[in-house]
Amino acid sequence: MNYAGMNAGSLTFTASLVVVALGGPSVLDTFQVLQLSAYSSLALGVVGLAFVWGILGILSLGHAAFFGIGAYAYAILSIAQGESTFAVAAAILAPSVLAVCLGYFLFYGRVGDVYLSVITLCVSLILFSFMNSTADVSYTLLSVPLGGFNGISAVPPLNWPGFVGDFLTPEATFSLCFLLLAAVYLALQFLRGTRLGRIMASVRENERRCELLGYDPRWLKLVGFVISAAIAGLAGALFTANTGYVGPTVFDLGQSSQFILWAIAGGMGTLSGAIIASFMLQFLASFIGTSQLFNTSLVFGTVIIFFVYALPNGIVPSLQGLLRKLSRLARRQRRRPEVIGDSIKSTP
Amino acid sequence: MTAMIETVGLTCRFGGVVAVDNVSLKIEEGELRCLIGPNGAGKTSLFKCLSGQVQPSGGRVLMKGREISRFHPHEIARMGMAIKMQVPSVFNGLSVHENVWLAAARLHRGKALEAIVDETLSAVGFRSAEAREKRADELSHAHRQWIELAMLAACKPAIALLDEPAAGMTQDEMLRTVELIKTINRSTTILVVEHDLEFISLLARKVTVLHQGKIFVEDTMSNISNNAAVREIYLGKQWRMAQ
Ligand SMILES: Nc1ncnc2c1ncn2[C@@H]1O[C@H](COP(=O)(O)OP(=O)(O)OP(=O)(O)O)[C@@H](O)[C@H]1O
Ligand SMILES: [Mg+2]
């Protein structure tokens, strides 16, 4: 059982994302295009978390902090400059810098797993209450008012790099978002199969053993943490570019726990699972939201309990397990007469 | 000649317990030293100090003449120390192959890497692809110990610390482990802790007895087993039963 690296499954998944990216705009209406673009940017956010949690075993409960900083960085810079290229770059860079500082303190200070989760969550909540209290017009960054709980609206969409005012159409943005999702997914999947990625997985399995083999887990965790923050920042930028709005709720508990829920539902250690789960659960949320039948939080509470109890491995690994069982069953049926005489060996 | 490992007045305290008490030990290059002592004598604690997992409360550890007492475990490992822990410490969720691959990957690349993995796995009896694809947590205790030994061998260490490498093994498995250790010793200095006296006499080397954190005596196995004081503290009951 090995999800790591480039295999048929990951290539197929990448290919399907590319097909959606290129074919989507011609079959979907504008509303669906806009909706799916926004979904895809949140899906991008969760891949980073699925990577750092599923591969390195770091449970960052404040993943939304990086997402939110990316979102705000994009909003402020794209308004201030009227151009989105630098804004996107800054949205990747700013959370990465925070991740380096925070990660250095967390990993090199040997902060325990639980404290790490709590501290990352606190960072996110501090940003939440800070942004909430910037309603006064005196709070500006690059002369863009932060807007407090009202957030920043009328954020311009992406434009072609270097061409001020030459905005991407919603269809082009849609394709770009899905292509970026595919690219990031493929890059992470590739990383998992490399030497570095395999060593990173060993940190999750047994940090002490990893260390005794001569690898420095602190450094490996820092690298992974920064990668996930950079991806979250990009995701935040795309989300804001798609919705034209950013508010303090990007930092709130709901946002962080949503990422966690998607990663759990998708299955620990799979990146494609987190992406699939994020789309499924976002559709579910919007369906419940529009139909007004149930309280959304109640449904998601139930969903998380369902996954923890009924499908602890998550969607994708459970399906893979089922397929494997079926194929083994089919093979056994075909070979039954020979199997009976099979001897049991005691040597490994 | 500088010793491979030398401790000078090494002390390790856990609260009020003095697990290692002013131990001065010298292991020469190429040696295969056995360390014995009753439960709680401080053998494992000594190993943890040597490998950097626990900071000594006092004294010094020198490796090839260089002070390593304040080094991180990964730095000590990079200097050429490898350890097999008392409680098997392997990557439970990963395959047997991946475990050994990870051990060898720090020093080797490409074809050489695969060759080392293949060689070390074959040495501990994991020859078939099927056996190598098993997850480490599916294996028996004895086999996990062998995987840990294979990981250790794959690092090509200058010095190996083995904490009870034959614990819980059958006679056959124990004999095989003795052979493995002798093979590793051809290129590696070894310090081995074991309770099984038959195992120690098969290795037949210089033995250090640790008692209540202190070095009690250092001698050959045959002298040790005739030493009345050692019998008293450690061999006593077991020894009389073996007679
Ligand atoms: N982390 C710890 N905290 C507190 N006390 C400890 C710790 N580790 C070991 N000790 C104590 O130090 C003493 C030495 O323990 P150690 O494990 O080194 O003995 P040992 O010789 O390896 O014994 P055994 O043969 O049972 O493995 C014991 O009294 C033990 O209780
Ligand atoms: Mg011990």
Residue A75, pLDDT score = 94
Residue A9, pLDDT score = 85
More confident residue, A69 or A159: A69
Q: For chains A and B, what is the number of CB pairs under 8 angstroms?
A: 66
Residues with CB under 6 A from ligand 1: B 14, 17, 19, 37, 39-45, 86
More confident residue, A219 or A270: A219
Asked if residue B107 lies in contact with residue B156, where contact means CB atoms within 8 angstroms, the answer is yes
What residues contact residue A94 under an 8 Å CB cut-off, 6+ apart? A69, A70, A73, A233
Which percentage of chain A shows pLDDT scores above 70? 93
Least confident of A116-125, A280-289, B12-21, B55-64: A280-289
List the 104-123 stretch of B: residues with Cβ below 8 A of A: 105-106
Residue B1, pLDDT score = 66
List the 22-51 stretch of B: residues with Cβ below 8 A of A: 51
DSSP string covering A75-92? HHHHHHHS-SHHHHHHHH
Confidence band (pLDDT; 50, 70, 90) for A288? confident
Q: Is the pLDDT reported for residue B76 higher than 80? A: yes
Mutating to test ligand 1, I would choose from B10, B12, B17, B55 the residue with most ligand atoms within 8 A of its C-beta, which is B17
Residue A337, pLDDT score = 47
Domains of chain B by range and CATH?
1-80+195-243 (3.40.50.300)
Strand order in the sheet with B81-84: B81-84, B159-163, B189-193, B32-36, B206-211, B214-220
Q: Is the pLDDT reported for residue B224 higher than 70? A: yes
pLDDT tens for each residue of B37-63? 888 889 999 999 999 999 999 999 999
More confident residue, A149 or A207: A207
pTM recorded for the entire structure: 0.89
Angstroms from A187 CA to nearest CA on chain B: 21
pLDDT tens for each residue of B106-127? 999 989 999 999 999 999 989 9
More confident residue, B198 or A338: B198
Residue B136, pLDDT score = 92
Ligand nearest to the CA of B16: 1
Q: Which residues surround ligand 2, an ion (CB under 5 A)?
A: B 43-44, 86
H or E segment and range at residue A179: helix A170-193
Residue B240, pLDDT score = 54
More confident residue, A107 or A254: A107
Q: Is the pLDDT reported for residue A268 higher than 90? A: no
Q: Is the pLDDT reported for residue A172 higher than 60? A: yes
Nearest-CA residue of chain A relative to B75? A214
The two structure tokens encoding residue A50: 């699925």
List the 199-238 stretch of A: residues with Cβ below 8 A of B: 199, 201-202, 205-206, 208-217
Angstroms from A79 CA to nearest CA on chain B: 48
Confidence band (pLDDT; 50, 70, 90) for B85? very high
Which percentage of chain B shows pLDDT scores above 90? 65
Residue A322, pLDDT score = 80
Helices (H), chain B: 43-50, 73-78, 96-104, 110-123, 129-133, 141-154, 171-185, 197-203, 221-226, 228-230, 236-242
H or E segment and range at residue A68: helix A63-81
Residue B117, pLDDT score = 94
The span from the CA of A14 to the CA of A8, in Å, is 10
Average pLDDT over residues A28-41: 92
Angstroms from A2 CA to nearest CA on chain B: 9
Is B143 in the A-facing interface, judged by CB distances under 8 Å?
A: yes
Q: Is the pLDDT reported for residue A312 higher than 80? A: no
**Three-class DSSP category at A244:** coil
If you take atom 7 of ligand 1, which residue's CA is the nearest one? Answer: B14
Question: Most confidently modeled of A3-17, A203-217, A329-343?
Answer: A203-217
Nearest-CA residue of chain A relative to B137? A205
Residues in chain A, how many?
A: 348
What's CA A161's distance to the chain center, in Å?
25
Confidence band (pLDDT; 50, 70, 90) for B165? very high
Question: Most confidently modeled of A78-87, B180-189, B223-232?
Answer: B180-189
Average pLDDT over residues A226-254: 93
- Tell me how far apart the 2 most distant CA atoms of chain A are, in Å: 83
**Three-class DSSP category at A58:** coil
pLDDT tens for each residue of B7-28? 999 999 998 899 999 999 999 9
Residue B216, pLDDT score = 86
Q: Is the pLDDT reported for residue B235 higher than 70? A: no
Confidence band (pLDDT; 50, 70, 90) for B74? very high
Asked if residue B216 lies in contact with residue B45, where contact means CB atoms within 8 angstroms, the answer is no
Which percentage of chain B shows pLDDT scores above 70? 95
Residue A338, pLDDT score = 42
Asked if residue A131 lies in contact with residue A261, where contact means CB atoms within 8 angstroms, the answer is no
- Are residues B106 and A208, on separate chains, in Cβ contact within 8 Å? no
Residues in chain B, how many?
A: 243
Residue A346, pLDDT score = 39
Q: What is the DSSP letter of B135?
A: B
Asked if residue B46 lies in contact with residue B20, where contact means CB atoms within 8 angstroms, the answer is yes
**Three-class DSSP category at B23:** strand
Least confident of A187-191, B171-175, B182-186, B217-221: B217-221
Confidence band (pLDDT; 50, 70, 90) for A195? very high
